[in-house]
Structure 1
């Protein structure tokens, strides 16, 4: 084997000093560093820095460590939904019903807790079981009913919301803040970090590993990128779609459990309404192509933090909370427009 093949340092003829082959240093060039971070993520980091600087200048309390920690705690519920929405979008689909699923899970966790003589573990397991069933219903409707995912989950958004209101009578259910487990989920800390943030980190890390380092993840990208080619290569698209929606239901249930712990009761609508818009906005803003086949958990988390920083900043400076919805809608439109421009797709209605 030659010296070049071994990639050992070579001696410079003139000076006698050892020099390292180019491929040792190539990984540390600015271009490769930029490629590793991603231009989309770099722009999100820049936007986040601008937002923090502006609101920090407008209000000194914005940069208070307690407020910054509060931002992290506040984004956990919709952050969980955004992470799993990333998986759904990569697969070339969409789940508009995740907010309603979280509402059903929230009610079920509190009602099961009350019905089992304050057994928090059974309340949690009941909520996760219901989330699994709701996700399975979405998957079966889409796969075997041959319904477009947007239409299917738009229908179940309304259906699940109605289900949560029916089983709860339209009112908050139970009281869980006299239980140590729910108190720990809501206010506990591990190594100084709030428990909800740790749960978000664990779920995000698990999904990141799934997408980046497993055959399942590669198949999901393949399905979203070109479902015909994926099918011809032997990938069972129906099974993957059902599994993805089941995963979405389970993660939505976890978000609902955190919502129950945070509010102290099962919430059929309050607290879960509008979460689907935030989740989709974060995923799109984080670089997910809505047509599928592209997206990362890291980009989505950056977008989640950015949206949380923006919402908190608007509250801190006293801006009407309704403007938050305007900002979210505007960011979603901006993210989609940027994606269209980068992909080179023709705008709808304009001549080629």
Structure 2
């Protein structure tokens, strides 16, 4: 009898994000007649695409009991680098040389930059045993400063229709950003559920000492995961820059909080070792629906921050309660 009750509690715990999403949609739908419309549906999915990319990388990090506070700043820097290379290229007057970039080349440069910054995070954390909170907080400041230096504090705009397609275009009746985030999710699910690296990530988050004794190269896995998180932040940066047709120096501010919120609301434990990519996707949808609903209801942006903060706090409290019961 007790085993049956425990099983039911575990099932209910897994369904909590889905129940929360259903209740949230029902409440907003009753309060706003614009919520349950096709245009708003696509609008919500387009808006959450960036957060999904960030949150997928964040999930892999949190599964190892780590954290990455730098994703918002990395997003801004990579978006600015991509926009700058695509629009202006690189000039070397002393060599009488100009290097132009195609859209693909500039995009790859942006993603590579994100991967390198993520690699640096992982290297500092593993080589110097710096807590992930501190290391990525430092990178948050460094990347934001580099963004200001690269852009000189001014937006890089007028990128053209070709660049804008990534953020505003449609393919087979679905927004391009939704396709991009869907591919990211599919690859992340495969990595976490079907590969040796995925098993190592869960093992490290569950018990790092036991993982070390079992022969897992913990430092290598951590560096790979932070590199992936940085690359995915760069992908998010490409979508934001494309959607705005402008690389803003202050882009991505606060995005790390939304990604952490999506991870926690989706059921991934901050203690590591427990959670899933699908749960995070559901968490990102909840955050997106909440943001969209508050805008439709004309709630002040300041109150939106308050509401979002309490939602994150509630999710953490529920996570701790579930951990104790488990």
TM score, norm. by length of structure 2 = 0.91
C-alpha distance in 1 between matches for 2:124 and 2:281: 29
**Hey, what does 2:41 align to over in structure 1?**
68
Residue deviations 1:169-188, cap 9 Å, x none?
A: 11111421x242x2321222
The structure whose RCO (Cα within 8 Å, separation 6+) is larger is 2
**Hey, what does 1:319 align to over in structure 2?**
299
Among 309, 315, 318, the residue aligned to 1:329: 309
Q: Superposition pairs for residues 1-352 of structure 1, below 5 Å?
A: 38-116=11-89, 117=100, 119-176=102-159, 178-180=160-162, 182-270=163-251, 272-344=252-324
Larger Rg: 1
In structure 2, do the counterparts of structure 1 residues 41 and 302 end up closer, same or farther at CA, with 3 Å as the change threshold?
A: farther
C-alpha distance in 2 between matches for 1:204 and 1:324: 27
Residue deviations 1:185-222, cap 9 Å, x none?
A: 12222221111011111111111111111111111100
Given that 1:118 and 1:179 are in contact with CA atoms closer than 8 Å, whether structure 2 keeps it comes out as no
What SS does structure 1 have at the residue aligned with 2:35?
helix
C-alpha distance in 2 between matches for 1:130 and 1:184: 22
- Gaps in structure 1 of 5+ consecutive residues: 1-30, 346-352
116-125 vs 238-247, which moves further: 116-125
Given that 2:107 and 2:238 are in contact with CA atoms closer than 8 Å, whether structure 1 keeps it comes out as yes
Q: What's the offset of the Cα at 1:32?
A: 9.1
88-97 vs 50-59, which moves further: 50-59
C-alpha distance in 2 between matches for 1:307 and 1:300: 10
Given that 1:111 and 1:174 are in contact with CA atoms closer than 8 Å, whether structure 2 keeps it comes out as no
Given that 1:106 and 1:268 are in contact with CA atoms closer than 8 Å, whether structure 2 keeps it comes out as no
What SS does structure 2 have at the residue aligned with 1:62?
coil
Given that 1:138 and 1:153 are in contact with CA atoms closer than 8 Å, whether structure 2 keeps it comes out as yes
- The structure richer in helix per residue is 2
Residue deviations 1:107-166, cap 9 Å, x none?
A: 001000012356211210110111111111111111112100011111111111111111
Given that 1:84 and 1:247 are in contact with CA atoms closer than 8 Å, whether structure 2 keeps it comes out as yes
C-alpha distance in 2 between matches for 1:171 and 1:115: 14
- Gaps in structure 2 of 5+ consecutive residues: 1-5, 90-99
Given that 2:13 and 2:322 are in contact with CA atoms closer than 8 Å, whether structure 1 keeps it comes out as no
